[in-house]
Amino acid sequence: MKHIVKILTLLVAITGFWIGLLQTSVIPQSHTWLLPIYFVVSLGCYGLLMVGIGLMCFPTCPQEALLLQEDITEAKEYLKRNAVDVRSD
């Protein structure tokens, strides 16, 4: 099944549930009418929140940059001794 079909199925299920709510009016109709808006807004908030959290906890590794510099020096020395042309230009 294509992925878009899965997502559409999910949407149809949610819509079905919503229509059900509208008809049975378990909660006041005026609220039910607003539910799709809540849904979209909370989806957007979720996205923004996840991006925000991701940014704040972005894993960084400054020490790796230093280690890489050491590796580069070591590699250059070895390669130079073995006739590989590693002059930087």
Q: CA–CA separation, 67 vs 62, rounded Å? A: 9
- Name the nearest CA neighbour of 32 among 40, 41, 24: 24
Would you give the binding string for another protein spanning residues 42-71, x where CB under 8 A is met? Answer: ----xx--xx--xx--xxxxx-xx--xx-x
Phi, psi of 67 (to 5 degrees): -60, -40
Q: Does the protein bind another protein through residue 12 (CB under 8 A)?
A: no
Q: CA–CA separation, 12 vs 25, rounded Å? A: 19
Tell the smallest beta-carbon distance from residue 55 to another protein (Å): 6
Question: Which one, 26 or 64, has the nearer CB to another protein?
Answer: 64
Positions that interact with another protein (CB under 8 A): 2-4, 7, 46-47, 50-51, 54-55, 58-62, 64-65, 68-69, 71-72, 75-76, 78-79, 82-86, 88
